[in-house]
Amino acid sequence: MNYELLTFIWFVLLGVLLTGYAILDGFDLGVGILHPFIAKDDRERRLVMNSIGPLWDGNEVWLVTFGGALFAAFPVAYATVFSSFYTAFFLLLTCLIGRAVSLEFRSKVHTPAWRKFWDIGFFLSSFTAAFLLGVAGGNVMAGMELGPKYLYEGNLLSQVYWYPLLVGCLTASLFALHGAIYLYLKTEHELQARARRFITKLFYLFAGLYVVVSFATFLHVPHATENIANYPILWIVPVLNALAVLNIPRAMHLGKPGYAFFTSSMVIAAFATLFSVAIFPNFMLSTLDPAYSVTLENARSSRGTLQTMLIIAVIGMPCVLSYTVIIYWIFRGKTKLDSNSY
Amino acid sequence: MMDVEILSRLQFAGTIMFHYLFPPLSIGLGLQLFLCELSYYRTRNPAWEAAARFWTRVFAVNFAMGVATGIVMEFEFGTNWAAYSRFVGDVFGSALAAEGIFAFFLESGFLAVLVFGWDRVGPKMHLFSTLMVFLGSMFSAVWIVVANSWQQTPAGYHIVWQDVQGEMTPRAEVTSFWGMVLNPSSVDRLTHTLIGALVLGAFFVASVCSYYLLKNRHHEVARRCLSIALPSALLFTVLAAVTGHDSAQKLVETQPAKLAAMEAHFHTSDEPTGLTLFGWPDTENETIHFSIKLPYLLSLMVYNDPTVPVPGMDQIPEDERPPVWLPFQTFHLMVGLGTMMIGIAGLACWSWYRKTYEQKRWLLWAVVFMPLAAMTANQAGWITAEVGRQPWIVYPSVQDGVEMMGLKTADGLSESVTAQQVLSSIILFGIIYSLLFAVWVFVLNNKIQHGPESGEELTEYKRKLKADSMSEKFGQSGKSHGGDMLEEGVR
């Protein structure tokens, strides 16, 4: 297979992994963000946590695999992106650790103070993780201060300004909305009614931010629309994105929460696709000199490795998908507490 | 201010040692859990089910810690070792990606069924899920050890020079995937590492059960589990010695500097080489204080021939010598602990066979403390392997008669990262990990003190659960909780 095509396939596959991660971990991060607001007593808190109990760990694997695949397929991009976001990524790691152990440890001791501690930990880590993912995405979109030989010359402060922060808010609100729809599907009675009210509020918040970030992107990141301008067929992505956004309240109104969840998943997929389209053919655009950018071409692995990895992916992905389906099937239906619950 | 290299090495060593507390226990416990469930599946004895449910709870706490601390490692390659990542990405990355796709998805998926599926799937599906989680964690170890072994004994690659904005920069590229995977040390290191994990799991189960016997609790479950754990502890400790010996023998060809460091063997001579049992190596004066040395033994162990001299540290260029003190001490610690574990496991099995095990309180107490020995041995082995390969992060090697360049640890760093950043991440993670460690010990102790349910409690719980779901089916307002076990959330 042709080297250029292989490179492109791996760019697309990384997009697929990132999309899978955002859709799946998106709802459980969202559940974490909503946790302190939506659940009124200890039983409800446990229900909310157990709605994602069997699934969050597998969802996070998409991120781990994305990291591994980026390392293998585009090592230069992996090295540059990860070392540039040094502080932000260590905070993200702190959050991912915090979330895992908050879930695992919360119900292990029966004192209110213990549970309160892990509840706060669960919320803070979920929210910050979602927010930081958005901030990182915003920075990559806008380009970063990359000097010669892929050396990042900026610092934490140059990553924290209005545009990435806005994208961070957008991501957190989208995940929260996605999580609220998921909770609506997994809960009953009063808790479910509360989830319904959250969906409406979060939708307005998200839709508002969506409009603001769209304008901000046109103004601040002019190169983001270049690819769409060059290939008008790509207009289909933002159009579908907008339609999907509008379809969320419609589906809820029609009383089809499953359809609404599918739609919010599609919104996330559309965002991930827009992101990939916007940055192509770069992984990290240098704002100092475009010649310093990390591109698909200068970041990729050898042809042999890309080919081997493609074989690995072709063997592995069907397995992954089949047992993902089995697990989601086994844990379908409303969340109930039993002796195995958190 | 300390320099970035030392800080980054400290950070990596610290985070990986902390991480490495958990995966070996997950792997080892995974096997014990599977054997318990297999016995339940065959006998349908509720005591076996109670045992399996109990070990699942312990397993879940440990597994969550392993997952949470594992992502850190993957990120650190990029954040702290960007130059290294660019150099090895083509090789190392594919092993890491294979781990993600072949191992992580498998274990995390079926972990859900293992932990949350007790009342949702039948015993057959549950047994299958346990096996998948165990295999998943083994596959995970396979790819990680392969990736690490490639750095120690690289194979199946060549060096390509690339023009990076005017400067020619080398990087390793795969020429043979299987050559890379099955590099000269992969199989030996993998079997030794996995068996080290199985030793830990077997002793962990034996330890908790012996503790119950000492405290006069949960006899039924404890005796059953011991009948599996003790023989496997003996089998795996012996296998650990065999595979360890094989690994060490290979070193004389692949990493003579590491072997010399492990033995503090400073001077090569024409005489056969002796084995140092204890001592305090002094690199500056190139001697070992307070040492006890057995003649001929090292030559015998390395070459299966007592007369062939083993090359010493003086055969290695001065700037390529690893530190000696640490690999020497950790290696001897590992061997010492291993020997002790073989002894204890042997004694325990013998007295179990003679049915006197439960009366020998000192032996029960000894077994109670064995997991600490196993864990220390695992960590010590890791330190020996990693410190012994310094100053190389990727060893230089000879491929088809061509000498390939290696990569020194100092050249693998992220150039854009400052010492301040690394130091703050060390402090941040120092705090988080200390807290986590305390919580983990606390929760684990809680689980162990609570212990398994008895067979009767379990039967009662299942009856209630069934009654609950029946009343729900018929639209009656069934109780929302199904008995004490639900209230407790005793998972």
pLDDT tens per residue, range A308-318 = 889 888 988 88
| Pair B462, B381 in one domain | no
| Pair B222, B356 in one domain | yes
Instruction: Answer whether residue A320 shows pLDDT above 80.
Output: yes
Residues of A in contact with B70 (CB under 8 A): 64
Is residue B12, in this structure, part of any structural domain at all? yes
| Pair B112, B249 in one domain | yes
**DSSP secondary structure of B437-455:** HHHHHHHHHHHHHH-PPPH
| Pair B377, B478 in one domain | no
Are B323 and B261 in contact, with CB atoms under 8 Å apart? yes
Which tokens is A331 given? 């844990």
Are A198 and A175 in contact, with CB atoms under 8 Å apart? no
Tally DSSP H helices, then E strands, for chain B: 16, 8
| pLDDT range class, residue A301, cuts 50, 70, 90 | confident
Bridging pattern class, strands B402-404 and B407-408: unpaired
| Pair B424, B490 in one domain | no
The dihedral of CA B400, B405, B407, B408: what is its sign?
positive
Among A residues 166-225, those touching chain B with beta carbons less than 8 Å apart: none
Q: E-strand spans in B92-215?
A: 157-164, 167-174
Cα atoms in the Cβ-side hemisphere of radius 13 Å centred on B383: 23
**Number of C-beta neighbours around residue A238 at 10 A:** 17
Domain range for B470 is 454-491
Q: Which helix (H) or strand (E) holds B397?
A: strand B397-399
pLDDT at residue number B485: 47
3-state secondary structure of A105: helix
- Beta bridge mates, B159: B172
Give the pLDDT confidence of B160-187 residue by residue, as tens digits.
888 777 778 888 888 888 888 888 889 9
Residues of A in contact with B81 (CB under 8 A): 79
Give Cβ neighbours of residue B201 (< 8 Å, ≥ 6 apart): B24, B25, B27, B28, B29, B30, B31, B32
pLDDT at residue number B478: 40
| Pair B63, B149 in one domain | yes
Are B270 and B309 in contact, with CB atoms under 8 Å apart? yes
pLDDT at residue number B378: 94
Residues of A in contact with B429 (CB under 8 A): 90, 94
| Pair B223, B140 in one domain | yes
Is residue B461, in this structure, part of any structural domain at all? yes
pLDDT at residue number B417: 80
Is residue B48, in this structure, part of any structural domain at all? yes
What is this structure's pTM? 0.86
| Pair B484, B417 in one domain | no
In angstroms, what separates the C-alpha of B97 from chain A's closest C-alpha? 4
In chain B, the N- to C-terminal Cα span, in Å, equals 47
Residues of B in contact with A42 (CB under 8 A): none
Instruction: Answer whether residue B240 shows pLDDT above 70.
Output: yes
What are the CA-CA distances from residue B133 to residues A20, A55, B111, B137 (Å)?
Answer: 22, 15, 6, 6
Interface check for A339 against chain B (CB to CB < 8 A): the answer is yes
Cα B44 → chain centroid? 33
Report the distance separating Cα B265 and Cα B274, nearest Å.
9
Total domains in the fold of chain B: 2
Q: Tokens 């008895």 appear where?
A: B454
Give the pLDDT confidence of A222-248 residue by residue, as tens digits.
888 888 888 888 888 888 888 888 888
| pLDDT range class, residue B471, cuts 50, 70, 90 | low
Is residue B288, in this structure, part of any structural domain at all? no
Interface check for B458 against chain A (CB to CB < 8 A): the answer is no
| Pair B424, B458 in one domain | no
Are A330 and B120 in contact, with CB atoms under 8 Å apart? yes
| Pair B480, B406 in one domain | no
> φ, ψ for residue B356 (rounded to 5)?
-110, 0
Interface check for A41 against chain B (CB to CB < 8 A): the answer is no
| Pair B38, B156 in one domain | yes
Report the distance separating Cα B16 and Cα B10, nearest Å.
10
Out of B94, B104, B417, name the one closest to residue A72 (CB): B94
In chain A, the N- to C-terminal Cα span, in Å, equals 49
Out of B113, B425, B443, name the one closest to residue A330 (CB): B113
| pLDDT range class, residue B491, cuts 50, 70, 90 | very low
Is residue B314, in this structure, part of any structural domain at all? no
Report the distance separating Cα B349 and Cα B342, nearest Å.
10
Among A residues 79-98, those touching chain B with beta carbons less than 8 Å apart: 79-87, 89-90, 93-94, 96-98
Is residue B491, in this structure, part of any structural domain at all? yes
| Pair B335, B483 in one domain | no
Give Cβ neighbours of residue B300 (< 8 Å, ≥ 6 apart): B306
Residues of A in contact with B174 (CB under 8 A): 302, 304-305, 308
Is residue B273, in this structure, part of any structural domain at all? no
Are B220 and B47 in contact, with CB atoms under 8 Å apart? yes
On average, the pLDDT of chain B sits at 85
Report the distance separating Cα B41 and Cα B342, nearest Å.
31
Is residue B303, in this structure, part of any structural domain at all? no
Give, to the nearest 10 degrees, the angle between helix B23-43 and helix B219-254. Answer: 130
pLDDT at residue number B470: 63
Give the pLDDT confidence of B206-218 residue by residue, as tens digits.
999 999 999 888 8
pLDDT at residue number B473: 54
Give ipTM to 2 decimals. Answer: 0.83
CB within 8 Å: B490 and A339: yes
